[in-house]
Amino acid sequence: MYDLIKTLTETWGPSGYEHHVRERIMEEVADLCDEMTVDGLGNLICKVGSGGKRIMMAAHMDEIGLMANYTEPKTGYLRFTGIGGIYQNSLFGNRVMFEDGTIGVIGGEDVIGKGRTSIPGLDGFFIDTEDETGQQRVSEGQPCSMWRETTRRGGRVIGKAMDDRIGCVVAIEAMRKLNRQAPNECVFVFTVQEEVGVRGARAAAYGVDPDIGIALDVTAT
């Protein structure tokens, strides 16, 4: 199971750009379900079994991300806005990855030198993507996700996008356990755009019209 966790958590997929995650999941579940479809919004819907009650189990594929929206003319640093809810106190020094594999590092303005003791808003941060030639490799409008390699330490797994790739892993493993045999109609939905308003789950619930709905997501511990 760890290999699947590592694969999914390291896959790039901020809200609205979940296609790489969806492709990985489709590879995993192709032989585990009776029917597999992708709806107009991008949700992956997998059905196992028939008869009885229709049970929908949903896990979201997307992760919180950032989007470059302005390039500083002197430094080339990228200013950005959030895709989903951002905790500013976790941004300093973090690495980000753009879809083409470009890695950037998040820096921030010198708030201490200015006499401030509080964490600045997003407008106080920037992304540096300068390469070995001194060129910035990203332009405005490009999204990125946080980046770190997923590792295992004792009984813990450390990485990005646990919210909610762990839920996706749980859904995949449940499908594996069912082995395409279920007394009810089990509909596993891997949803999009949860971090920006639960958009995918809303659309999927309307389309699936389940008798029972179960959300597979994480919580703070």
127 and 85 in a common domain: yes
Of the chain, the percentage scoring pLDDT greater than 70 comes to 95
Predicted confidence at residue 148, as pLDDT, reads 94
Asked whether 87 and 44 are in contact (CB, 8 A), the reply is no
Domain span at 123: 65-146
Predicted confidence at residue 114, as pLDDT, reads 61
- In this structure, which long-range contacts are made by residues 115-120, counting pairs with CB atoms below 8 Å and at least 24 apart in sequence? 119/88, 119/89, 120/88
Which of 121, 146, 171 is the endpoint of a domain? Answer: 146
Q: Is residue 104 part of a domain?
A: yes
Which of 89, 117, 146 is the endpoint of a domain? Answer: 146
96 and 77 in a common domain: yes
Q: Is residue 154 part of a domain?
A: no
Among 51-60, 78-87, 108-117, 186-195, the least confident range:
108-117
Q: Residue 108 pLDDT more than 90?
A: no
pTM confidence score: 0.91
123 and 53 in a common domain: no
Q: What is the pLDDT of residues 38-48, one digit of tens each?
A: 999 999 999 99
102 and 87 in a common domain: yes
56 and 80 in a common domain: no
92 and 132 in a common domain: yes
Which of 146, 170, 200 is the endpoint of a domain? Answer: 146
Residue 123's pLDDT band (boundaries 50, 70, 90)?
confident
Predicted confidence at residue 75, as pLDDT, reads 86
Predicted confidence at residue 90, as pLDDT, reads 86
For the residues 107-117, what does the mean pLDDT come to? 68
137 and 189 in a common domain: no
Active site residue 109: no
Predicted confidence at residue 111, as pLDDT, reads 61
Q: Residue 136 pLDDT more than 80?
A: no
Q: Of 211, 201, 108, 216, which Cα lies nearest the Cα of 165?
A: 216
Question: Rounded to the nearest 5°, which phi and psi values hold at 153?
Answer: -130, 105
Q: Residue 156 pLDDT more than 80?
A: yes
Which residue in the list 10, 18, 194, 195 is annotated as catalytic?
A: 194
Q: Is residue 155 part of a domain?
A: no
Domain count, the chain: 2
First to last CA, the chain: 21
Q: What is the pLDDT of residues 49-63, one digit of tens each?
A: 998 999 999 999 999
